């Protein structure tokens, strides 16, 4: 057990260590763990201990782009209480993982471009201090993994993934994920690149496709979109058919093919 000393700037010397049962979850599952904390040299009133889900998000501002850390879930797991000098406590917690939590790992491998984590916040004497970020790896739901695998079979090659600031229709998140692909041989005459976004709920999921379409002899390149809904526990083959139909629709829309 490795304690991290928090509130050093306030002279509190309270130490906190968060241990997750597992750092790998899926949307809709429960993240379980324990917050271990130890008092300092004096008696302190702890107003609360919070677990904070955070993500690194791309923010566009004019012609520039920068990264910003966003909190998308904050839950109190302990407090208020008095912490006696040098006293050691352990507070277990269970937190439902939001259905819209973005994917950050596939097949046990981190997804390039994604940074998700869990931070522990300690509220003490009116001040708030956040500890280091514990990595959180979110694997896709079975239906998401099936569609991702289908794109791979169609020849699309993964490029990168990121989170963009903004809220899409049907979403409650302050950002959305884009999983980016290079177009495969069958599709490269239609698209230069493809972006995949999931908006997931407890029963169904919207799939958003955005492609950078190549121009024809009499038309310039432009972005095309397609959006369809699949049930989380539906037939994977039907979801794959909807994906293929969406791609075909975008390929045929405006221009030569």
Structure tokens at 155: 């020849």
Q: Locate the domains of the chain by residue range.
A: 4-138, 142-252
At 104-132, the pLDDT tens digits run 999 889 999 999 999 888 887 666 667 67
Q: Would you state the pLDDT for residue 257?
A: 39
Q: Residue 118's beta-bridge partner residues?
A: 53, 134
Q: Can you give the pTM of this predicted structure? A: 0.88
Q: Which of 170, 34, 165, 156 is nearest to 100 (CA)?
A: 170
| CATH domain 4-138 topology | Immunoglobulin-like (2.60.40)
Q: How far apart are the first and last CA of the chain?
A: 61
Residue 170 pLDDT greater than 50, yes or no: yes
* Digit-coded pLDDT (tens) for 231-248: 999 999 999 999 999 999
**Residue-level pLDDT at 12:** 59
- Reported as a pLDDT band with limits 50, 70 and 90, residue 213 is low
Please say whether the beta carbons of 41 and 14 come within 8 A: no
Let me know: does 55 contact 101? Beta carbons within 8 Å.
no
């Amino acid at each position: 057990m490795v304690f991290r000393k928090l509130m050093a700037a306030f002279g509190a010397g309270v130490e906190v260590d968060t241990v997750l049962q597992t750092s790998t979850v899926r949307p809709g599952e429960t993240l379980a763990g324990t917050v271990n904390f130890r008092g300092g040299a004096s008696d302190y009133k702890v107003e609360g201990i919070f677990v904070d889900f955070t993500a690194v998000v791309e923010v566009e501002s004019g012609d520039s782009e920068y990264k910003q850390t966003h909190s998308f879930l904050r839950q109190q797991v302990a407090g208020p209480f008095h912490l006696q000098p040098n006293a050691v406590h352990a507070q277990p917690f269970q937190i439902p993982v939001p259905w819209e939590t973005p994917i950050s790992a596939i097949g046990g491998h981190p997804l390039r471009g994604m940074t998700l984590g869990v931070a522990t916040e300690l509220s003490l004497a009116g001040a708030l201090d956040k500890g280091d970020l514990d990595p959180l790896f979110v694997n896709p739901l079975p239906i998401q993994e099936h569609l991702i695998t289908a794109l791979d079979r169609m020849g699309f090659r993964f490029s990168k993934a990121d989170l963009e600031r903004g809220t899409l229709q049907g979403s409650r998140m302050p950002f959305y994920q884009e999983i980016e692909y290079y177009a495969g041989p069958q599709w490269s005459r239609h698209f230069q690149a493809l972006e995949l976004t999931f908006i997931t709920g407890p029963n169904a999921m919207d799939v958003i496709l955005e492609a950078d379409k190549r121009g024809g002899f009499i038309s310039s390149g432009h972005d095309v979109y397609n959006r369809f809904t699949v049930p989380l526990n539906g037939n994977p083959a039907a979801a794959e058919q909807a994906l293929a139909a969406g791609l075909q629709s975008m390929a045929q829309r405006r221009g030569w093919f």
